[in-house]
Structure 1
Amino acid sequence: MENSGGGSFMRNRRLESFLDTNSSSTVKQAPKILVKEEVVKSPKTDVYVDDDGWISALISCVRIVVCFLSMMVTTFIWSLILLFLLPWPYERIRQGNIYGHVTGRMLLWILGNPIKIEGTEVSNERAIYICNHASPIDIFLVMWLAPTGTVGVAKKEIIWYPLFGQLYVLANHLRIDRSNPTAAIQSMKEVARAVVKNNLSLVIFPEGTRSKNGRLLPFKKGFVHLALQTRLPIVPVVFTGAHHAWRKGSLNVRPAPITVKYLQPIKTDDWTDDKVDDYVKLVHDIYVENLPDAQRPLH
């Protein structure tokens, strides 16, 4: 599930060959060149270069069409399964997760982005998984990686999304009413009760919407309220590079590498209602520390 750094290794081998064929004065400068190479490899940098030529655009269009057709097939199949399982709500959640594992991984394979995953030792804990959101690809990653027994939290209007929205509801995932603060609070309470009652995990995008340029947006408070009501730990999942792969409002999918990094769980057992803003800032700051400069918010 984790891609190796083969490209970086070959670059180092070519660099070593170059140094071996040059003069001794060039060899003396080798440590400086190696230091620069390390900087390029650092997760804090962002060096992907776009290729927006017509061939790239054509390949992108083909991949998007294949993704859509493939998703239609799997969605139709699992819709039939979920209709059959209507009397068994938890089994519908489980089957919805299996649908996500199959469909999410298939779509990512079709798009062809190299994916590196770190910190998987905490990827199956019962928790509230939160993810930064800057690309449609984030949805595919969440579908693929969410452990079985996990429900998503989305706005109630998702039911109107063709095919996917109806399957989301059939899979017994949770929706919230964001029309006004009172309705939103009541929705959050209902979500928390369902999670506790059925021993579920949650996955949520705390920004509440997708970033246009990949930079982290301010976090909404909903995930903290859910943590206070469920006492589940929060597992931050950091997506890096997805904003290069598929930007908001674009139909051009690029083969940019993507990194998924699970951070250590944040315990919420001793959290209190009077420090909600502090907890939001705490988790937001953790993301800022773990994102490259190009994805950090501008101050």
Structure 2
Amino acid sequence: MNKLFGYILTPIHYLLFGLFLCLFHPVQWVCLKLGGQEGHKKSVDLLNFFLLGTYFIMGSRIIFKNPYDLPTDRPIIFIANHQSMYDIPALIWFLRRYHAKFISKIELTKGIPSISFNLKYGGGANIDRKDSKQAVSEIFKLAERMQKFNWSTVIFPEGTRAKNGQLKPFAIGGVATLLKKVPNALIVPIAINGSWKLVQYGKFPLSAGQKITWEVLEPIEPEKKTMEEIVAAAEEAIKEALK
């Protein structure tokens, strides 16, 4: 039934998703010109609110859990597992008060309405995976902005999407690079569960009626811990939450 309804609902979902991306491209430009970084951020938040709304067209159940009073006066590194592109709009919207940024492939800064504009001007890090020097430099620049503005960053240490929902080993590189410049950052794991099911049949049809959860887990203070211990603790917490 999930697949059958997917054939019916997926075109409507894609139509609305694409419409919002096209509509908000000029909106972001105007907000950046008139309102600067803060105005641009508000337009991006609103865009992702509408993008998240298109999940309901697919009959998806969206659940975000955050039982913790996370600080807004210090940087946060959110460490999350990654199951599909549908992870991201929810993270931007639900973590909006923490100014969450992303480390993205530089290829995504061209050709995608709204998304490419946001990646260029939103303050995240756009890295060339073939150029390690450029990648480290970009992440350092992001870390400096985190320190200066108390921004946060979302990292997917698996390195790629886990298309079947099975957690892949976490790499320490991105977290370690950020913590070198932002040693006072709080580490906060997030367990994402169910978004892979939305795309289990590929891009078409999407699977209707799936439950997707984003669960904020207990924060980890990095002080007196090695990079390996920090990432291992986050990985273990996420693994437990996904059981």
Distance 1:74 1:184 in 2: 28
Match of 1:246 in 2: 199
Task: Confirm or deny that 1:262 pairs with 2:209.
Answer: no
Identical-residue share of aligned pairs (%)? 22
Q: Which has the larger radius of gyration?
A: 1
Which amino acid is the alignment partner of residue 117 of structure 1? F
> What SS is found at the alignment partner of 1:234?
strand
Distance 2:86 2:205 in 1: 12
**1:181-214 Cα shifts (integer Å, max 9, x gaps):** 3333332222211211222111222222212211
Which amino acid is the alignment partner of residue 233 of structure 2? L
Instruction: Give RMSD over aligned pairs.
Output: 2.5
Match of 1:141 in 2: 90
Match of 1:127 in 2: 76
The normalised TM-score by structure 1 is 0.70
Structure with larger RCO (C-alpha < 8 A, sep 6+): 2
Distance 2:60 2:218 in 1: 25
Structure 2 vs 1, CA of residues 238 and 215 (structure 1 numbering), >3 Å: closer, same or farther?
A: same
Structure 2 vs 1, CA of residues 248 and 178 (structure 1 numbering), >3 Å: closer, same or farther?
A: farther
Q: Give, in angstroms, the shift of residue 256 of structure 1.
A: 0.6
Distance 1:217 1:96 in 2: 33
Which stretch of the first structure deviates more once superposed, 279-288 or 100-109? 100-109
> What SS is found at the alignment partner of 1:252?
coil
| Aligned 8 A contact 2:81 2:158 in 1 | yes
| Aligned 8 A contact 2:81 2:157 in 1 | yes
The normalised TM-score by structure 2 is 0.84
Aligned residue pairs: how many?
A: 236
Task: Confirm or deny that 1:112 pairs with 2:82.
Answer: no
**1:136-181 Cα shifts (integer Å, max 9, x gaps):** 2102211221223332221222212411112321223332333233
Q: Give, in angstroms, the shift of residue 97 of structure 1.
A: 4.7
**Structural mapping, 1:1-299, within 5 Å:** 51-53=2-4, 55-85=5-35, 88=36, 90-92=37-39, 94-95=41-42, 97-122=44-69, 125=72, 126-148=75-97, 149-163=99-113, 164-221=115-172, 222-230=174-182, 231-247=184-200, 249-253=202-206, 254-271=208-225, 275-292=226-243
Distance 1:196 1:170 in 2: 18
Distance 1:69 1:276 in 2: 42
Higher strand share: 2
| Aligned 8 A contact 2:126 2:135 in 1 | no
Distance 2:104 2:236 in 1: 24
- Could you tell me which runs of 5 or more consecutive residues in structure 1 were left unpaired when the two chains were aligned: 1-49, 293-299
